[in-house]
Amino acid sequence: MTADTYTSIRDIEAEAEKIIHEARAEAQKAIDAARTKAREIISVELSLEDVADQEKEIVAQAEDEARKNMEEAELRAAKLKKIASGKIDSVVRDILVHMKGTY
């Protein structure tokens, strides 16, 4: 009976060790999977930060380009007004001369 009890205890201990070993292996797998997922999340967060930085840079470049285009357009408009003003004066003089009949 003692031998049977000893064998039963030994079997139970072996089974318990096997269960503990399997549990540790499963726990290690879960930890490894969590670490992998954490790395993925961290890399995605970094990528989102990079995207946000790129977005800010693109918007800043677009605003700068728009400002430059507006300045150039204002300069061209001022030049055209000056040219138009000179031409208007010339046309008005020509009309007055023609109406007076003096060439």
Higher-pLDDT residue of 79 and 102 is 79
Asked whether residue 1 carries a pLDDT value surpassing 80, the answer given is no
Per-residue pLDDT reduced to its tens digit, 65-90: 998 899 888 888 888 877 777 777 77
- Per-residue pLDDT tens for 9-41? 777 888 888 888 888 889 888 988 888 888 887
User: 103 near 97, Cβ under 8 Å?
Assistant: yes
Taking the whole predicted model, whether its pTM rises above 0.85 is answered as no
45-69: average pLDDT: 82
Residue 97 carries which side chain, given as an amino acid letter? V
Helix (H, G, I), strand (E, B) or coil at 17: helix
